Amino acid sequence: MSADRSPGALAGLRVIDLTRVLGGPFCTQTLADHGAEVIKIEPPQGDEVRDWGPPFRDGVASYYVGINRNKRAMALDLGDAKGRDVLLRLLARADVLVENYKTGTFEKWGIGYHAVLAERFPKLIHCKISGFGADGPRGGMPGYDAVIQAMAGLMSINGTPDSGPTRIGNPVVDLGTGLSAAIAILMAVYERQASGRGQYVQVSLYDTAISLLHPQAANFFMSGKPPVITGNAHPNITPYDAFPTRTKQIFLAVGNDRQFARLTAELGAPELAQDARFRTNQDRRANREALTEILRGLLADQAAEPLADKLLAAGVPAGPVQDIPGVMADAHTRHTGMVVEDGAYRGTGTPMKFSRTPARPAEAPHPFSADSRAVLSESGFSSTEIEALIAEGIVPAERRR
């Protein structure tokens, strides 16, 4: 980091990260990217997504590498009372604890927030991430992204009439939950400035998935009609769909009548904007099939990428349907810093840009337990204590297989 570079908007925030898999690590990576000191504490067996490959580099799967940068690496056996004692000493210097252990685990270990942590560390913010929350008919039950997509209705609105309900291709529930958790933590940090008190924050995959059901839930609440699968088309707006061209598909997202007039003018058919069937969005929605066929004809001989640039310049939201290699090579992706590198590490950048406190440079995930000695020393452990903890396996130096 250069001498004049900001350490990040969250510099000084210390986070103990006991999360595994995706939602929690994505949350804490977001915090770490913006300057928080995140100490990722893995169980002796390691975070299981280290093994979710291929691909692998140096025995670690890309799945792990993609969501654990900018963190310090430690390991701790919390199943042992000595390990829990270590955790408590680490929490004495922490602002935030984030964990996604099975509901009730901390209480079983005698370190539940309400019974122990709140009194011992009154300023601590404890963020609990779970599948369904702690109570209710499914309280405490495990949840994985795809299962929640199915149960919370996301699959029911994704796919085509031919495919039927379809899982969204990336783990949007896990990722959304990670962002919800990060936002919740920062809200609690902000509130603590006034109250001086920490609090217990819960974020569940199930609740997050339901919160993402827009506009389908809003449509249902108003109309009483269950949403139907529309493929790439928008349920409320027309034209808002993918269309074939001579080269690749192009997506048109025409949100108002002015944009529709500009689209038809750029396609050489300005009269369509005055056609009684297509003057307003309601008209276009009622005559979607007819308009779709007309647009398909106008687009058939076009090349997607130059046409998209032309439409964007005219104020019409449009873009070619790109694959992942194309996205990562795109000049705009590079310009906005959405590919970051650190040696052999390459990852996606942060979408949050700050004028004075930009995100910290990407630092590749550290090897398993690589920072354990340093973290313990900074928390007041003597060298004799540290070596004893490592020798006993309370702080494993290598993954336990």
Helices 23-33 and 172-195: crossing angle, nearest 10°? 50
- CA–CA separation, 80 and 77 (whole Å): 6
Q: Structure tokens of 266?
A: 């750029």
- CA–CA separation, 359 and 336 (whole Å): 12
Q: Which of 18, 26, 353 is nearest to 180 (CA)?
A: 26
Collapse the DSSP code of 267 into the 3-class scheme (helix H, G, I; strand E, B; otherwise coil) and give the result: coil
Establish how many alpha carbons lie within 13 A of residue 201's alpha carbon, considering only the half-sphere containing its beta carbon.
27
Is the CB of residue 267 less than 8 Å from the CB of residue 261? Answer: no
- CA–CA separation, 7 and 307 (whole Å): 42
174 belongs to the catalytic site? yes
CA 211 to chain centre: 14
Q: What is the dihedral of CA 173, 179, 182, 183, to 10 degrees?
A: -110
Return the residue matching tokens 């690496």: 73
Return the residue matching tokens 């210390």: 14
> Residue 343: which region, alpha, beta or left (left: phi > 0; alpha: psi -120 to 50)?
left
Catalytic site residue from 17, 95, 145, 174: 174
Helix (H) or strand (E) holding 73: strand 72-75
- CA–CA separation, 213 and 158 (whole Å): 11
- CA–CA separation, 218 and 350 (whole Å): 30
Q: Which amino acid is at 56?
A: F
Q: Which residues, at least 6 apart from 224, have a Cβ–Cβ distance to it below 8 Å?
A: none
- Catalytic residue positions, numbered: 174
